[in-house]
Structure 1
Amino acid sequence: MHTLKATGASSLSLPEGSYIYALAPCSAGLAAISSDDSLRLIDSANLKQISVLSSQTHSGGVTCLRTGAGEQGTLLATGGRDGKVRLWDANRTAGATVEFEALKNAPVLSVACNAATNTVVAGTELVSSQAVVSFWDIRFPREPRLQYVESHNDDVTELEYHPTQNHILLSGSTDGLVNIYDTTIQDEDDALVQVINHGSVHHAGFLSPDTVYALSHDEVFSIHPMTNPDDPQKEPEPVLFGDLREPLACEYVVQLCPGGAGYLAVGNKMYSSLIFWFVCLPCSVC
């Protein structure tokens, strides 16, 4: 375990009892969404508030935040329980610059951005037996350019683009599946190039260009090699770590932070602590 030194602390000027849902790097420093439905900008050096981009980001509550939308990757994307995805310019305080609407106004639980293709993707809550992954070109926001409506049968909790291949997208859901798509393929069945059955997905993503991780809501963690559907060789076995709470002496896992081999951020409510564990990939998937 690496020892980390705290260099700053801040309440972000939030109302008492508020929770911070997500932080994301942006051109101004850091962006933050929280339970008071605000979208705030913070100086990453001293954690002082720069501005409040929105005090009412989404009616019903903001749920998710990502950076990297737009041609220059400078826009912030938020999703909310109002079934909307909104883009915000960190250099302006005039409100959202673009708005997209999910199918049947289903609450949006996850977003991802691809600046190279001007694409924003949203994953929804299960509504009327459908959980949808919708793609928009931010230059033409009125209608989605592509939708996957059959790949998940429960809430879509995670979306992430491949770090080097702009056409590869990962989705995770409480139905237990992590899906990987080739988004250049219009047919949904053909676009699905790999399916990982893990358990109700809290977080999932790319640990490296050829490695996927998955973390369930009951803190079970696994690492899987990406597969090539055209390769006849047997699929390599995943590395299954099981429930991380006992081996890491924690009560919950917050997130995996890629970088080198990666860090796992874990928490303990009893001691109000946040601990980072260094994760080394086993040789079988390196």
Structure 2
Amino acid sequence: MTISRVRNHRALCAASLTLALLAPVTAAPAAMAEEGTETTLTGRYDPLFGEARAKVGEAATSAATTFDDTTTDRLDEAPAPERTTFTLGDGAPGNAEINSATGEVTYTATHDDAGKVIEIPVVVTYSDGSTDEGTVYFVVADPHGGTAKKYTVNYTATHAHTGEKAVSEAPTFDDTTTEEVETLPAPEGAVFKLSRDARDAGIDPSTGVVTFTARESDADTTVNVPVVVFYPDDSHAHADAPFEVFHHDHGHHGDEPGDPAPTPAGSSGGTGTALLGAGALLALVAGIVHFLRTHPLTVPGLPLPR
């Protein structure tokens, strides 16, 4: 082997050794840069915000916010990392509140919210100062929508007498989505209650049958007993159960106001002139004939009855 070849071989070995020594040094910064993408907790965790169903005028609270650890292959629903805090975001409604430790949001829906989905912004602040943002949703029931909007509740008028309990028929329901007027039974799950303005009345919560005892002051009037029907979808409807009230002394011993007075036998309606009815007239003629047969009279020119 010549001297030049030996020198070249030594140079190649030195170069290889240099590359081998430098390789770990150059790879380390790359690895550190890759790990740097997960140096904040906001890069590691994904918050899963809760939601809730709400009713107008009632406070509703969402589920607590849970977290998914993105370093695992499964979907986690873990509680908040230690020292994590929650605050309402910009634009949150004034009547919303948040639990700073759990992320639970409490909201009282207004009448304007009925039938809407209310979005409440939330800010998550981790212990390292990094943050996440999200939204908690409140689905507000429409008290006059859903089933209540689909059906009309109908009660027929019930005759009542003062001082006596009267019982209505069960209400029927008309499906407003059809052109026909139906008399359907109550939708499944419907519950009936009296309105707070109802008086002297009771109701069967499952059938809607109303009982009512009229006062003397109710005579010759129609009293509407207010009823509220509640449906499983949290909607409700209002209806009136009408009771036509008559005096007790008319009851079973006379005629109810509004009915025409019967014409007594032997009188014509409205003239006051006494006239015999057909039956009475025949009875009178038969009586005269019988009298003449049993008491014969001799009248010149009049033959005796045979």
Does the TM-score normalized on the shorter chain lie above 0.5?
no
TM-score range, shorter chain: under 0.3
Question: TM-score with structure 2 length normalisation?
Answer: 0.18
More helix by percentage = 2
Q: Looking at both structures, which has the greater relative contact order when contacts are Cα pairs under 8 Å and sequence separation is at least 6?
A: 2
Question: TM-score with structure 1 length normalisation?
Answer: 0.18
